[in-house]
Structures are given as structure tokens and as C-alpha cells.
Chains A and B, each alone.
Chain A
């Protein structure tokens, strides 16, 4: 158990809808990363937050947004969903975001029908 929790574990929704994925980092970790893993693909870095502030951005679509709250949990919002958004979404946390080791949650599997 990495100490990182993600909810929900599974999510099935329809095209055009909006969903929110939630991540609670390990106790004491200030930095949160979000990744998308599509079928047979590697993990694609989406965005990083550190202590509530956006620190780095990857290939995150404009339809996607994220935030980190004062209690350090983070949410990833996906809107106007398309079939191609079906993927595993991982959250990872690290102490200050400037070290090599990230701790990953178990992921949220999103299926868009």
C-alpha cells in the first residue's frame, strides 16, 4: 500500500459528460502528479501541483483541469468526455516534488461509452 488513495476505482459514463477524479496523497506529501494511461500506452504526464499551486504541465487537454486543495487532496476534472478519454488515470505524490521517488495510487479506470 503506497498510502496514496484514489476514488472512485471505476467509473463508467457517457460521451459529453463530466467527471471528477479524486486523489489523496501520502500523509505529509505536498506534491501531486496526474497521469493518463491509455490502452497499451505508457503513462502520459498531465499535470503537477505543489502545495496548492500548479508547478508543471504536460499534455493535458483543455477539457481537463485539476486543482489541489488546502488539505492537499487533488481533483482531476474531465469534461466533454470523448471515447478516447477512456483510460487509467493515476495520481502520484512525493514529499516536495523535487525528488525522484513518486508514490502511485491504484488508479481510476474510466470508461466512456
Chain B
């Protein structure tokens, strides 16, 4: 059973505009949520995370929002740049970080 879901396989955005990537989860026991970015032929790289006690975390152009009541999180990229074109994975973990549950990814294409 998929505990973390990314229902949009792809997203296309114009350079300079906002990219919003969405993620839903089913397990209310998750304590941390993370976003990873993956380029072709490379492993995922950590982008940003948020604790379940927060509803927003910002790092430069990247902001993650968490809505616990809806079991939903989103990643906002503003402004989007062509170099942001990659596959973005949402992941969740308990507070011991022993297991991570990943979504299936959203492929973002930022058009120049």
C-alpha cells in the first residue's frame, strides 16, 4: 500500500513562474517530510524538509507547506528556472529516520 502519493506524473511551467508540486500521505504517524530532486543518471539529492510540528519551511526559492489535517504537502519553487527541470520525489519518515517512504515522483519541466 502506497503511503506517500504523488498524483501528478509531470508538470510543465514557464521560466520565472511558480512551480507547485503536490504530495499526499496516509500515515498520520509520519514526523518528517522531505523533498528530493533527481536528475537523469544520478541518485536523488536532498532538497528541503519539514517537521510535522511546522506548517512551512523556506530555503531560498524553495518552500514546503504542510497541511496535516489534509495529509498534504506541497513544494513551491519561485521563480522556476530551467535548471530546476528534474524529477521531484516526496518522502516521509518517522522521527527515527530508519525507514523512508517515497512517492512515485513528479517530472518538472521548466521551459525557457
Chain A residues with CB under 8 Å of chain B are 2, 4, 33, 35, 40-45, 48, 55-56, 58, 90, 92, 94, 97-107
Contact = CB atoms under 8 A, between A and B. Distances in A.
B89 A42 contact: yes
Given A48-B98, A56-B99, A92-B43, 14 more contacts: A2-B43, A42-B2, A42-B102, A43-B44, A43-B102, A56-B98, A90-B43, A97-B98, A98-B96, A102-B100, A103-B46, A106-B42, A106-B43, A107-B43
B103 A42 contact: yes
A35 B100 CA distance: 10
A105 to B, nearest CB: 5
A102 B38 CA distance: 13
Contacts of B99: 45, 48, 56, 58
Contacts of B44: 43, 90, 104
A97 B49 CA distance: 16
Given A42-B89, A100-B34, A33 B46 contact: no
Interface residues on B, range: 20 to 34
B46 A102 contact: yes
B4 interface: yes
Candidate in B46, B49, B91 with the most chain A CB atoms within 10 angstroms: B46
Given A42-B89, A42-B103, A97 B45 contact: no
A42 B43 contact: no
B41 A42 contact: no
A11 B76 CA distance: 37
A42 B99 CA distance: 14
A15 to B, nearest CB: 26
Contact of B46 (A55, A58, A101, A105): A101
Contact of A98 (B97, B100, B103): B97
Contacts of B46: 100-103
A17 to B, nearest CB: 25
Interface string B15-37: 00000000000000000101010
